[in-house]
Amino acid sequence: MSALLIETHALSMRFGGILAVSELDFAVHAGELVGLIGPNGSGKTTTINMLTGHLVPVQGEIMVRGVRAHGQAASAYATMGVGRTFQITQLFGRMTVLENMLVPGLARPGSKKAGATRAARRHLEFLGLAALENLPAKNLSGGQQKLLELGRALMLEPAILFLDEPFAGVNPFLRDEIIVLVQKLHAEGRTFVIVDHDIEALQRLVHRMVVMARGRKIADGTVEDVRHDQEVLRAYAGF
């Protein structure tokens, strides 16, 4: 088995009196392409937010590459190589496309401007955004903004990338483009966790699926296993 990138033990999150995530055990190894699925309100985004440091769990452990990361700031997770995108695209709207890319590039310890710029241009080329580098990010189309957000996460040279609902509100054309990009990046050795509520959209892409319902993990296995899991069928039928 390849190296363990992220691992949680009994992770729980509570908002007010509501248990959003309960006793979650979850692990991702290097080179995996994992889908995290579940109906709306099942705790997927809360899980991502905990695994990237944007929420501090009320209970449980998070290990990033074997190091206890519980309670660290989101920026520390980013520096440890945990990248993410957001459900609703979060860019630096009034900064240029290149500047958006340079923020993570220059936030990395020991980075140099020239190197970061080179890396940024390489990623923008890969994403097909190279011609737009001097435009303010807010002037891009919705699809270009999604790609830019992915590019910004890539600038961290992340060991693991969390994509939160990358296909939500995306036209079929762009969806296919994103799938191809993810496959290419995965072939280069990157590890992904992709969150979505739609099994059909994910099954073309991922190798392993983790299913959540009502804050709990109810299944974890190959796409084939999960599709025939009785509990999963029941959870989805309920919605």
Partner 1 sequence: MRAVQIVLCAALGVLVLAFPGLVNAYWLSVAILAIFYAIVTASWALLVGYAGQFSFGHMAFVSLGAYTSGLLVKWFDIPIPLGMLAGVVLCAIVGSGVGFVGLRMRGPYLALFTVAFSEVLRIIFVSEVEITGGSGGLEVAPLFHTRSDAPYYYVGLVLLAGSLAAMVALVSSRWGLFFRAIRENEAAAAAAGVKVVRFRVLAFAIASSFAGLAGGFYGHFLGILTPDIGSVDQMGLVVAMAVIGGAESLPAAVIGALALEALVEALRSYGEWRLVVFGALLLLTIRFARNGLLALAWEQLARVVPVVPAPRKTA
Q: Report the 10 Å Cβ neighbour count for 111.
A: 15
Minimum Å distance from CB 211 to partner 1?
25
Asked if 92 interacts with partner 1 (CB under 8 A), we say yes
Inter-CA distances, 167 with 13, 116, 137, 139, Å: 26, 28, 20, 21
Owner of token pair 């209970």: 59
Of 19-27, 152-160, 171-179, 220-228: span binding partner 1 (CB under 8 A): 152-160
Mask: binding to partner 1, 58-77, rule CB under 8 A, as x and -?
A: ---------------xxx--
29: β partners? 4
Asked if 121 interacts with partner 1 (CB under 8 A), we say no
Contact 210, 26 (CB under 8 A): yes
Structure tokens at 107: 């936030």
Minimum Å distance from CB 50 to partner 1?
13
- Per CB under 8 A, the list member of 3, 25, 71, 94 interacting with partner 1 is 94
Closer to partner 1 by CB, 152 or 197: give it.
152
Structure tokens at 127: 């994403």
Closer to partner 1 by CB, 166 or 219: give it.
166
Minimum Å distance from CB 15 to partner 1?
17
What are the φ and ψ backbone dihedral angles of 38, each rounded to 5 degrees? 165, 160
Owner of token pair 């999604």: 146
Q: Is 229 helix (H, G, I), strand (E, B) or coil?
A: coil
- Per CB under 8 A, the list member of 95, 130, 170, 223 interacting with partner 1 is 95
Distance between CA atoms of residues 204 and 60, nearest Å: 32
Inter-CA distances, 11 with 23, 84, 116, 216, Å: 5, 19, 35, 10
Q: In one letter, which amino acid is 65?
A: R
Closer to partner 1 by CB, 69 or 153: give it.
153
Owner of token pair 């905990």: 50
Mask: binding to partner 1, 25-54, rule CB under 8 A, as x and -?
A: ---------------------------xxx
Asked if 90 interacts with partner 1 (CB under 8 A), we say yes
Binding site for partner 1 (CB under 8 A): 52-54, 73-75, 78-79, 83-84, 86, 90-96, 99, 102-104, 106-108, 113, 136, 152-153, 155-156
